[in-house]
Every structure is written in C-alpha cells, then in structure tokens.
Amino acid sequence: MSEKKLMKGNEALAEAAVRAGCKCYFGYPITPQTEIAAYMSKRMAKSGGVFLQAESEIAAINMVYGAASAGVRAMTSSSSPGVSLKSEGISYIAGCDLPCVIVNVQRGGPGLGGIQPSQSDYYMAAKAGGHGDFFMIVYAPGSVQEMADFAVRAFDTADKYRMPVMILSDGLLGQMMEPVVFPEITEKAPEKPWACVGHENKRKHNIVNSLYLVPEDLENSNRERFKKYDIVKAELPEADCYLTEDAEIIVTGYGASARIARSAVNAARAEGIKAGLIRPITLWPFPEKAYADTVDRAKAYLVVEMSMGQMVDDVRLATSCKRPVEFFGRTGGVIPKPSEVLEKIRELDKKYNKA
Amino acid sequence: MTSEIQLAGFGGQGILFAGKVLAYCGMLADREVSWLPCYGPEMRGGTCNCSVCLSDEPIGSPTVDEPDIIIAMNDPSFRKFIDTVKPGGFAFVDSTLVTASTDRNDIKVFCVPATRLASDNDLAGGANIILIGKLIRETGIISMDDIEAAIREIVPPKKAQLIENNLKAIKIGYEFM
C-alpha cells in the first residue's frame, strides 16, 4: 500500500490529476482554490506538462478547449464567480464532445460573494453549466481522499464519454487537510482518433466544431449527444448510503454538508431516532435509485446544503414526491453545525414519525 | 475516542503549523484526523484559528463547536473560545500575551508564559510548540515519539535547523510546571 500523506484537499486533487496524466493545466487565481494552481505551478513542469496562468478565467477555459481538441488531458480550476466566467467555454467544449476536467471549489455567492465555503453552484453544475442543450458529469467529493480519487476518475470518465466533467467541491474540502493515499493509476488514457493532431495527408482531417448553420444538423447533433446522456444516466449514478437500511428520517446532502449531516445522523441514532444519510457522489446524473429504494420505509427526507436549497427539487423528483422533503441550509459562507442539523432531524421525527 | 482541538491566535504565531503538527501525530498513530483552517484574506496580523480532530472513528464534520482542548495565544482568541470548551476539557493559554481570565472551574486551565519562554531560550516563534509540549504532558493524547517524528517530517529540509529548535520547544513546554 502506498504511503499516507497529510494534504489539503486542493493539493491532493492537483497531485492526483498529474498522476492521472493531466498534461495541461490552465487557471487563474481565486480563493479558495488557489492552492490547485500553486501546486500545479510547481509540479507540472517536473512532470513534463504545461502550467499556464492565463490572463482570465475565460482565457483559461478556452485553452482547455484547445488542448482537449488535440486529445490532451487538460484541466482548469476556479471558484464560483470564476466558473461563471467559464460557462461559455464549457458550453463550446460540450458542443464539440470534448473531454476535460473543470474544478469548482465553491465559495459564497451571488456576485463576488465571499471567500468562505458554499454550495450554491449546484444548479450551475448540474443543470445549467452554460447555454444550449447539454450536461456535464458532476462528481461531488466528500473528503480529501475523494478529492484525489475523483480527480483520477474524472479524467477517465471524461475520456470514456467524451464529455466535460466537473468536480464540484467547496472551500471547506479544498482547504482542509486529511490523510490521503494516492490511487494506483491502472487505466491508460484511450486512443483519440478524433483529435486534431495533424493528419500528415494520411487520413481525412478531423474537425472539432460546435457551429451548425443548418438547424436540422444541429438538431441531429443534439439528439446524438442525448443518446449518449441516456447511457451515462444508466451507467454512472452513484451514491453513498449510510445507515439507510432501516432509516425513517433520511438526511441527504453532498460534499461538506454530507460530512456535517453524518455527524448529526450519528447523534440522532444515539438518541434512538432511526436516521440515515444518502450522499450523492454524482450530482449529474443524479442517483435517483438510491432515493427510490428508501421511499417505502422513509417517513420524511431532510436535504442539507450550504445554499438556499438547490438540490431539494432533485430529491422530490427522485422520491416521486411520495414523502415530505424538507430543507435545512446555511448560506453565504456559513457552515451549518451538526447540532443545528440534529435539531431539524428531531423536529422531522416528531412531526412525521411520532404523529 | 475523539479529541476535538481548537487552536487560535494572531496570524504569524504558527497556529496553523501547530495544528498541522497535532494532525500529523494523529496520522502517525494511525488515527482518523482532520485539520481545518479558518481562512481569511489576511496572512499576518489578523486573527487566525484552526480546528483539529483526532478520532478512532471516521470524522464527520471537521468543524469544532465544543472543543475538548483549546490553545489560545491572544486575548481575542481566549475570550472567543474559553466558554466553548467542553466540561472536563483543557485550555492551554499563552500567559505572556493573554491577560483575560476565566472563572470556569469545570475545565483545566494551564497558563504557560510561552512567548517569554521562547524568547528566553532563543526560540523566537516557538511559543506555539511550547504550548504543544504542555498539551502532550497534560492530556496524553499524543506520544513524544510521534511528536518528534511529526516535526522531523513536517519541517521542510531547507529549514533543517528548525527541527532541533522545535524539539527543544516541545521539551520546554513539557517540563514547564
């Protein structure tokens, strides 16, 4: 087994990306993700890759667009306002069916917001990453170990489906240190016969393009892409279920919120409340089955987020609105306390279970 | 068993480093650990704190609301955290810099003039580690072997002379009565 290292989430993600074969990193500094860029600036040159601090987030995502067109494993990272800037580029990348990895270490918003941890970019990641008919795959790490593991997985998944993949983290996971063991890299990046790397007059030239002036052509392209999305939806959804087997009050949240919710679930269990936790690992595709499997036993669901409640609708859909879905959240950079979540669990237990 | 530790002071006092030393010790002892800084726009001069959890169970929230142990290295930090300590918990206070006091008698408060001890022993900036030395003695949550290994591991090779200084600081804190 490889050695445990004590690292920040941001650094662990960056190191794992390099090990996964990321050869181009383009970024622009913003708190709380700057450690990714700082780490890459030291590490990339040594690993034979390119680190480039772009003049803006928009430039960085378009550099990723270029590198991905040439079949290179490329990544950019930013925090909330910076990811807004990248959204045009992300749409182009999706429209060209290019694989790449985009990291969002979320901070409070809207606007310039604040620099403390937040989860208010769920909609932007899972629903509306940019203009047009497209989705990106979204992974939500819940620990420093997963910051590393999911960086590797993100590159593999991006190449497999030729899709942009977002790692949706937050300031808490990015800044905290935990022990991490770097995963063994087993999968090699697949061949990319579609990449624009020069045809040397030996084959027809490849075109990477998202412009279709004939409406029917664009419609066909979108329909083809959505066939691929159906495959992704069948193959990829993933959730971590904790004590859900007999749970009556199901708490659900992703990333940092799930950590806090887990502490609250443990405390609720100690009081005799049958609480459990569903932690979505993929936010798109949303792990609907994990919820559907619990609907018969559950009395109610409690969504915990560091936002005003952006995942609530997805939980309602996944449970077909068969049970009440309530929400507890803190926003603007305030981290919810386990005791606050516990109080809400007690309230739900009283309201829906003992009634 | 879980120990939740809150370290707080001014930026530049080595609060984050001291927290990292504790977390590293926990990792060497094969425990679950987390280290969470309260990050702000300022690097030096502002208030600075971090939370460390050492546990035998997977750690849920890395935030600490009711610490078992606090290290307070200035007045604002002492005032902010002293009433949050769990009954039966510990407070390690740099009494060179902290003038405030508490009337809590349900916790053990250890006042160590760490900043003065550091300057008397030519260990400028070592007050944080002196307090860690005292913490080890009084709480026993980490071993002297692990702390030495942690310091040797964390101090960057470029600053190798700091290893001996840190080990000396641990000893001064450990032996302070």
Instruction: Using alpha carbons, select from A132, A104, A136, A131 the residue that is nearest to residue A120.
Output: A104
Q: Do A307 and A330 contact (CB within 8 A), yes or no?
A: no
Chain B (120-139) residues lying within 8 Å, Cβ to Cβ, of chain A = none
- A251 and A188 share one domain: no
Would you list the domain boundaries of chain B? 2-175
Q: Summarize pLDDT for A112-159 with one digit per residue, the tens.
A: 999 999 999 999 999 999 999 999 999 999 999 999 999 999 999 999
All residues of chain B having their beta carbon less than 8 Å from the beta carbon of residue A179 are 27, 33
Q: What is the pLDDT of residue A187?
A: 76
DSSP conformational letter for A326: E
Inform me whether the pLDDT recorded for B1 exceeds 90: no
Chain B: nearest CA to A268, how far in angstroms? 13
Chain A contact present for B37, CB below 8 A: yes
When the pLDDT of each residue in chain A is averaged and rounded to a whole number, the result is 96
Q: Do B35 and A266 touch (CB under 8 A)?
A: no
Q: What is the pLDDT of residue B41?
A: 65
- A100 and A18 share one domain: yes
Q: Do A341 and A251 contact (CB within 8 A), yes or no?
A: yes
Which residue from A4, A177, A264 is facing B35, i.e. has the nearest CB? A177
Q: Summarize pLDDT for B73-123 with one digit per residue, the tens.
A: 999 999 999 999 999 999 999 999 999 999 999 999 999 999 999 999 999
- A157 and A20 share one domain: yes
Cβ neighbours of residue B121 under 8 Å, at least 6 residues apart? B168, B169, B172
Q: Summarize pLDDT for A271-292 with one digit per residue, the tens.
A: 999 999 999 999 999 999 999 9
Chain A: nearest CA to B177, how far in angstroms? 33
Q: What is the CATH number of domain B2-175?
A: 3.40.920.10
For tokens 């996944």, name the residue.
A318
- A223 and A249 share one domain: no
Residue A353 one-letter amino acid = N
Inform me whether the pLDDT recorded for B44 exceeds 60: no
Cβ neighbours of residue B140 under 8 Å, at least 6 residues apart? none
Q: Do A6 and B23 touch (CB under 8 A)?
A: yes
Q: Do B34 and A177 touch (CB under 8 A)?
A: yes
- A31 and A107 share one domain: yes
Q: Do B7 and B125 contact (CB within 8 A), yes or no?
A: no
Chain A contact present for B46, CB below 8 A: no
Give the Cβ contact number of residue A24 at 10 Å: 22
Last residue of a domain, one of A189, A217, A235: A235
**CATH code at position A187:** 3.40.50.970
**Domain that includes residue A11, residue range:** 5-235
**Which residue of chain B has the CA closest to A262?**
B60
Higher-pLDDT residue of A83 and B161 is A83
All residues of chain A having their beta carbon less than 8 Å from the beta carbon of residue B36 are 172, 175-177
Chain A (12-71) residues lying within 8 Å, Cβ to Cβ, of chain B = 31-32
Q: Can you tell me the mean pLDDT for A210-220?
A: 98
Note the ipTM here.
0.94
- A197 and A283 share one domain: no
Alpha-carbon gap, residue A286 to A283, rounded angstroms: 5
Cβ neighbours of residue B27 under 8 Å, at least 6 residues apart? A4, A6, A179, B33
Chain A contact present for B63, CB below 8 A: yes
Instruction: Using alpha carbons, select from A290, A354, A19 the residue that is nearest to residue A154.
Output: A19
Alpha-carbon gap, residue B135 to B114, rounded angstroms: 12
- A159 and A21 share one domain: yes
Q: Can you tell me the mean pLDDT for A30-42?
A: 96
Chain B contact present for A112, CB below 8 A: no
- A213 and A348 share one domain: no
Give the Cβ contact number of residue A107 at 10 Å: 27
Q: Do B20 and A259 touch (CB under 8 A)?
A: no
All residues of chain B having their beta carbon less than 8 Å from the beta carbon of residue A261 are 60
- A193 and A231 share one domain: yes
Alpha-carbon gap, residue A96 to B51, rounded angstroms: 45
Last residue of a domain, one of A204, A235, A266: A235
User: Residue by residue, what is the 3-state secondary structure of B55-79?
Assistant: ECCCCCCCCCCCCCEEEECCHHHHH
- A90 and A221 share one domain: yes
Instruction: Note the residue count of chain A.
Output: 355
Alpha-carbon gap, residue B90 to A138, rounded angstroms: 43
- A179 and A276 share one domain: no
pLDDT band at A355 (very low <50, low <70, confident <90, very high): low
Alpha-carbon gap, residue B89 to A4, rounded angstroms: 30
Q: Can you tell me the mean pLDDT for A27-53?
A: 96
Q: Which tokens hold the place of A38?
A: 């700082």
If one counts the domains in chain A, the total is 2
pTM of the model: 0.95
Q: Do A6 and B41 touch (CB under 8 A)?
A: no
Chain A contact present for B35, CB below 8 A: yes
**CATH code at position A340:** 3.40.50.920
Q: Summarize pLDDT for A153-179 with one digit per residue, the tens.
A: 999 999 999 999 999 999 999 999 999
All residues of chain A having their beta carbon less than 8 Å from the beta carbon of residue B60 are 259-264, 266, 338
Last residue of a domain, one of A235, A251, A283: A235
Chain A contact present for B43, CB below 8 A: no
Interface test with A, best of B20, B38, B63 (most A CBs within 10 A): B63
Q: Summarize pLDDT for A295-336 with one digit per residue, the tens.
A: 999 999 999 999 999 999 999 999 999 999 999 999 999 999
- A264 and A208 share one domain: no
Q: Do A178 and B33 touch (CB under 8 A)?
A: yes
Inform me whether the pLDDT recorded for B37 exceeds 90: yes
